[in-house]
């Protein structure tokens, strides 16, 4: 099985280029043009870069001075024709919004250029593209300035035989429908580091307009070794009390693991189910009462240490993981004949990882 340590950096927003029509054909709509431009400047998030131009002019204007100077800028640009080329030749990698009225004469010259797919024409009175199907033209009434940010709605990470066993962004969750995937939606920060089995691992990004698929960057310098992942991430180790240490030593040497209070057999979470007043059961280690999910024990000469393992999947050997599923944990093994992950038995308490490390669920 291939194993990878991969990174996804939260995708950046596109720049928005706003182009105003100060020509005679838009004269009667000028107040509305200014208004629509203001909507864009105010409503798009601050982290999105915005640039301002006029039709027929490659010079960029400073949006900071928009209110005070826009009338003067209009006069400067009033006699220029309605041409888009001077601006399109200047800008790259941007959403282009043209606010105006009446035909843009050279728009069809850009029909085969990829930039034309990013053009949004906000029509005041008359169409700016006429009969040419270039860009998208919408009416001023259906424009509110919001549509431009093209925010990410969701990201799904999956791949062939994909099985993540470590990730550092808790806002991602695992789904098991069909194939295994890591999902997130409506986040401010989509960045994530992952350790996973599988090949061809990709992120499917759904934006409010369109979808894209990107490969994750492999971070060769990072180890996929589970012990290193445990040691270098999460909270620091805590020490069990001496009574708890005794219990741990008894349990890890016993064939049948029994509750220290009532003697019931413990085969899953480290909890007693005969204790009244607790739905989940009472933790048999008082030190672990705040921990939900996987706990790692480390057996050292000076004592037994523990810490939580946050992801809901952990690697237990070279072709197996344990998945935390509502108060129990189930082992999945990769079947090389069937070429898929198959569910096996429940994870037993104190499952040995290696070198004195054990995993349980609480
Ligand atoms: Zn008990």
Residue in 236, 349, 354 with CA at minimum distance from that of residue 283: 349
Domains located in the chain, CATH noted: 15-149 (3.40.50), 151-222 (no CATH), 238-361 (no CATH)
pLDDT digits (tens, 9 = 90+) for 207-235: 877 898 988 888 878 899 999 999 999 88
278 CA from centroid of ligand 1 (Å): 12
Q: What is the pTM of this model?
A: 0.72
> What is the bridge-based pairing of β-strands 320-325 and 328-335?
antiparallel
Distance 263 CA to ligand 1 centre (A): 6
d(C-alpha 82, C-alpha 19), whole Å: 11
The rounded Å distance from CA 259 to ligand 1 centre is: 4
Using CA atoms, how far residue 55 sits from 44, 62, 73, 202, 305, in Å, is 22, 15, 12, 40, 68
Mark the residues whose beta carbon lies below 5 A from ion ligand 1: 259, 261-262, 264, 272, 274
Task: Name the phi and psi angles at 179, rounded to 5.
Answer: -110, 170
Rg (CA), the chain: 30
pLDDT per residue as tens digits for the range 302-360: 999 999 999 999 999 999 999 998 778 999 999 999 999 999 999 999 999 988 999 99
Report the pLDDT value the prediction gives residue 238, as an integer from 0 to 100.
Answer: 97
Q: Percent of the chain scored above 70 by pLDDT?
A: 98
CA within 13 Å, CB half, 88: 22
């Amino acid at each position: 099985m291939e194993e990878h340590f991969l990174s996804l950096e939260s995708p950046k927003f596109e720049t928005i280029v706003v182009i105003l029509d100060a020509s005679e054909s838009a004269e009667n709509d000028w107040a509305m043009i200014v208004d629509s431009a203001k909507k864009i400047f105010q409503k798009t998030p601050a982290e999105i870069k915005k640039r301002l131009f006029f039709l027929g002019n490659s010079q960029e204007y400073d949006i900071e001075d928009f209110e005070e100077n826009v009338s003067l800028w209009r006069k400067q640009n009033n006699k220029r024709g309605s041409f888009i080329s001077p601006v399109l030749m200047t800008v790259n990698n941007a959403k282009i919004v043209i606010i105006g009225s009446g035909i843009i004469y050279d728009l069809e010259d850009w029909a085969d250029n990829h930039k034309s797919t990013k053009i949004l024409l906000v029509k005041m009175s008359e169409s700016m593209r006429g009969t040419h199907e270039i860009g998208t033209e919408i009416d001023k009434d259906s424009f509110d300035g919001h549509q431009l940010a093209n925010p990410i709605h969701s990201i799904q990470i999956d791949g062939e035989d994909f099985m993540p066993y470590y990730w550092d962004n808790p806002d991602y969750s695992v789904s098991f429908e069909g194939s295994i995937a890591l999902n997130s939606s409506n986040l401010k920060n989509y960045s994530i580091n992952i350790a996973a089995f599988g090949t061809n691992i990709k992120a499917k990004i759904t934006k409010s307009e369109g979808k894209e698929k990107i490969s994750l960057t492999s971070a060769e310098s990072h180890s996929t070794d589970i012990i290193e992942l445990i040691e270098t991430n999460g909270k620091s180790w805590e020490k069990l009390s001496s009574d708890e240490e005794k219990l741990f030593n008894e349990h890890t040497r016993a064939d049948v693991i029994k509750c220290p209070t009532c003697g019931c057999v413990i085969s899953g979470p480290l909890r007693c189910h005969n204790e009244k007043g607790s739905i989940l059961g009472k933790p048999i280690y008082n030190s672990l009462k705040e921990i939900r999910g996987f706990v790692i024990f480390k057996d050292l000469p000076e004592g037994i240490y523990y810490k939580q393992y946050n992801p809901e999947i952990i690697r237990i050997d070279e072709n197996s993981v344990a998945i935390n599923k509502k108060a129990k944990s189930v082992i999945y093994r990769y079947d090389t004949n069937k070429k898929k992950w198959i569910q096996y038995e429940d994870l037993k308490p104190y499952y040995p990882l290696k070198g004195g490390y054990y995993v349980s669920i609480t």
